[in-house]
Amino acid sequence: MIKTILGFPALLLFATASQAAWEVNLPRGVTEVSREIYDLHMTIFWICVAIGVVVFGVMLWSVIYHRKSRGAKAHNFHENVLVEIAWTVVPFIILIAMAVPATATLIKMYDNTEAELDIQITGYQWKWRYQYLGEEIDFFSSLSTPRDQINNAAVKGEHYLLEVDNPLVIPAGKKVRFLLTANDVIHSWWVPDLAVKKDAIPGFINEAWTIVNEPGVYRGQCAELCGKDHGFMPIVVEVKAQADFDAWLAEVKQADQDKAAEAQKSWTLAELMETGEEVYNKACLACHQANGEGIPGVFPGLKNSPIALGDPGPHIDVVLNGKQGTAMQAFRDQLTAVELAAVITYERNAWGNKVGDLVTPAQIAELKE
Amino acid sequence: MNTSVAVSHHHGPASGISRWLFTTNHKDIGTLYLWFSFLMFLTGGCMALLIRAELFQPGLQLIQPDFFNQMTTMHGLIMVFGAVMPAFVGLANWMIPLMVGAPDMALPRMNNWSFWILPFAFAMMISTLFMDGGAPNFGWTFYAPLSTTYAPPSVTFFIFAVHMMGISSIMGAINIIATILNLRAPGMTMMKLPLFVWTWLITAFLLIAVMPVLAGVVTMMLMDIHFGTSFFDAAGGGDPVLFQHVFWFFGHPEVYIMILPAFGIVSEIIPTFARKKLFGYASMVYATASIAVLSFVVWAHHMFTVGLPLAGELFFMFATMLIAVPTGVKVFNWVATMFRGSMTFETPMLFALAFVVLFTIGGFSGLMLAIAPVDFQYHDTYFVVAHFHYVLVPGAVFAIMAGAYYWLPKWCGNYYNETMGKVHFWCNFIGVNITFFPMHFIGLAGMPRRIPDYALQFADFNAIATVGAFIFGFSQLIFLYNVISCIRNSKPASDRVWEGSHGLEWTVASPAPYHSFSEPPQVK
Ligand SMILES: [Cu+2]
Ligand SMILES: [Cu+2]
């Protein structure tokens, strides 16, 4: 407690110091579309400013000069057909002038044809899944900011809440098409620098696209309220030059094979418990909580629960296949056989649960076939 | 016959609590509505302050994310359905009969019922905070399937509460329409109606048109949750986007329900303190009507990112931009009314002037949001939060405050304390801008709405916004004190109250007698 109180002002200082600039405007972004959008934004902004100056100017003039304390006498005009027609027609013309370029940009944004790479993006509570169509690459991406930073027990890093374990990697200069859907509730995939924001909706596939010429790292967040950890599902896009991208592809495929091989080696309870805790903290803690007690009425506790203490069969089943129509997802494709075996073993032997048995990676690998 | 009329002339309010429970008097019911809405305003305001306190600094300090979501949801629902709407109904109850020269509302018993449903509806909704799994946590827009399959069990109580609020609103609207159409004094033709009455007439039709749609959408949720249907469940062949279409078909007209009566109030106040007739009365009426009609064909501007077909995007973009035209006409008319007037700046006028400026700023950001391609960047960010708070707080709420100060001497027979009123105004004006203006910046810089914690680059403006929110919130206590001392005792008000006042409500005594216009006045 004392520590938190003392640490707080220090964190405040840090927060202010690490803050780059007082950002007040939309980013121009790094794509042709994002720049067009920025220009539209500035145009409509200046139109509003101009109208505001005229309207508020006249108002201020009246407030200053037509006040009773200055002896102003009220005139008694109260309509003027010509003036009224003018201030109906003029705004109308301004709006048409604005609608024309907006329409052109929108048509461009809707041109989803001729993509060179298709990536399916699926929103989950509270992580993103990226599947590269035709490449056999399929992984999940979730927040990597440590809990301690969120709970003010550690100093916040530069990319606090905008960092993930596995970023989405795309090649520079290529038209990449995103196919968006969701597994549970509605999410929205948004990266401001690419000016891509599209809702990921269960049962629908939405399309969006981008061409980024600059290699770099671009960050965004889920934009649609999707439950408890909506504020904690960032997006990181890494744009790599084609050669680097190809190298990355090969690396990921190799890593997948290594993981598959790991399942066949034999694991001790201690090893599984160690890995299991890591997996639990990453994939399950958000709902079932660190102490395994869940949130009453929303997420069930696993501590002392019949399922964690009983026969392993139903326990494995619920973790692999989830529970239709609840927040409990199927983890079959989200985790490797080792991770699944470890987390299940962990749940059966943590927080005072003492089943003592061990669910082996090989056993899960077989079920996953 | 004659004797019974004479008897009813003389009987005043019942005594004690039964006066308020069984009253059918429009003034009593108006008072009940106004106090209720003020209580809800403070309740929803406390929730807003809790939200702002959590957002004062990055990191989680005071509340956990799930409770944060419950707070944003309840804050929105309470402010919309508990504070703003009942306040307008309260003003309508008090003022419409006085303005059209009617002895009471057309359907007094129903009037009692429409009010007394509300405390029960809100007691039920607020009680969900203490249930297992907590209160609704899916935002005031309660998008499915977050609000159905993935909702806490208390969602059923929320649905029931929404039904009750809907019934109350519909009955209130029927009553207002019946009063305006049937109980006008002889000579009070439609085109002589005060603008507050006109805007409420149009609002009441909007309410009758869309509250059943809201009832429909929550009923579909109820069916999905408890009776095995799949309206919004993709796994069962349903359509989550359908929810949004139905919700916003209600939701967009709803935002005009919350602003048209405000237009009416301001159109009463500005001429009074500019000592000059309202400029363009007829065009004000037509502009209000066209805003109401257009409000039915713009709903999908809340859904530009759900994946509408291109033609749909374009249609909703053009229709939305079109609303700027009649809205502009109104603002120009108010400014033209002030021009060459003889203005004084009592508290109601200060609130009305702030309304014109700040509502227009909210209108500008609304126009920006209408540009569909750019909305892809604005949507679901703090820019939207800034936009709708500008039209709702210095918009609707300032108009309600202006109306309250304007008519308070008529209601209580005493003037409020003018200095205290001005202090209240300046605290509100400064507080509102410190709170909501920086939200434009953090929204553009990329902060999504409805998040309990944020990246470090948003820290400074969030801290500023929180300071503003506390200034705004606590300054409402000045208002409360001023109103209570005005009721208790203060300088007695004349019947006309304001030098520039005009209209039937200023022809009755101050305070307005319990029964007024038992003999209809003659309007020339
Ligand atoms: Cu989200
Ligand atoms: Cu709308």
Residue A285 C-alpha from the chain's centroid = 18
Q: Residue A328 forms beta bridges with which residues?
A: none
Confidence of residue B4 (pLDDT cuts 50, 70, 90): very low
Q: What is the pLDDT of residue B66?
A: 93
Gap between the Cα atoms of B263 and B395, Å rounded = 9
Strand order across the beta sheet in which A187-191 lies = A168-171, A234-240, A216-222, A187-191, A196-200
ipTM value: 0.92
Q: Give per-residue pLDDT as tens, A54-69.
A: 999 999 999 999 999 9
Question: How would you class B227 by CB atoms within 10 Å of its CB: exposed for 0-12, middle for 13-18, buried for 19 or more?
Answer: exposed
Can you tell me which residue has the tokens 């300046």?
B426
Question: Which of B234, B247, B258 is closest to B302 using CA atoms?
Answer: B247
B228: which residues sit within 8 A by CB, 6+ positions away? none
Ligand nearest to the CA of A123: 1
* Cβ-defined contact of A88 to B329 (cutoff 8 Å): yes
Greater pLDDT, A296 or A343: A343
Q: Taking the model in full, what pTM does it have?
A: 0.91
Ligand nearest to the CA of B384: 2
Q: What is the pLDDT of residue B13?
A: 81
B228 shares contact with chain A (CB less than 8 Å): no
Q: How many CB pairs under 8 A join A and B?
A: 312
State mean pLDDT over B124-129. 96
Instruction: Report all structural domains of chain A as residue ranges with CATH numbers, in order of start.
Output: 26-65+79-111 (no CATH), 117-244 (2.60.40.420), 263-368 (1.10.760.10)
Query: Which of A110-114, A221-225, B23-27, B137-141 is the least confident region?
Result: A110-114
Q: How remote is the CA of residue B524 from the centroid of ligand 2, in Å?
A: 41
Known catalytic membership, residue B127 = no
Q: Give per-residue pLDDT as tens, B63-79.
A: 999 999 999 999 999 99
Can you tell me which residue has the tokens 């005792």?
B489
Architecture of B24-506 per CATH?
A: Up-down Bundle (1.20)
What residues does each domain of chain B span? 24-506
| CA–CA min distance A339, chain B (Å) | 26
Confidence of residue B523 (pLDDT cuts 50, 70, 90): confident
**What's the one-letter identity of residue A121?**
I
Residues of A in contact with B345 (CB under 8 A): 67
Q: How remote is the CA of residue A317 from the centroid of ligand 1, in Å?
A: 27
* Cβ-defined contact of A95 to B325 (cutoff 8 Å): yes
Q: Determine what percent of chain A is predicted with pLDDT higher than 70.
A: 94
B514 shares contact with chain A (CB less than 8 Å): no
Has residue A74 got a pLDDT over 90? no
SS3 state of residue A240: strand
Q: Tell me the pLDDT of chain A averaged across its residues.
A: 89
Question: Both ends of chain B: CA-CA distance in Å?
Answer: 29
Gap between the Cα atoms of B349 and B272, Å rounded = 9
B459 shares contact with chain A (CB less than 8 Å): yes
Can you tell me which residue has the tokens 């048509």?
A107
Q: What is the pLDDT of residue A21?
A: 55
Q: Which of A178, A194, A298, A328 to mutate to test the interface with B (most CBs of B within 10 A)?
A: A298
Ligand nearest to the CA of A228: 1
Q: How remote is the CA of residue A220 from the centroid of ligand 2, in Å?
A: 26
Q: What is the pLDDT of residue A5?
A: 42
Gap between the Cα atoms of B466 and A322, Å rounded = 41
The residue annotated as part of the active site, out of B140, B143, B192, B502, is B140
Residues of B in contact with A73 (CB under 8 A): 342
* Cβ-defined contact of A296 to B450 (cutoff 8 Å): no
Has residue B346 got a pLDDT over 90? yes
Known catalytic membership, residue B449 = yes
Known catalytic membership, residue B301 = yes
Q: What is the pLDDT of residue A159?
A: 94
Q: Determine what percent of chain B is predicted with pLDDT higher than 90.
A: 94
Report the range out of A268-272, A352-356, B247-251, B518-522 with the highest average pLDDT. Answer: B247-251
Q: What is the pLDDT of residue B11?
A: 65
B67 shares contact with chain A (CB less than 8 Å): no
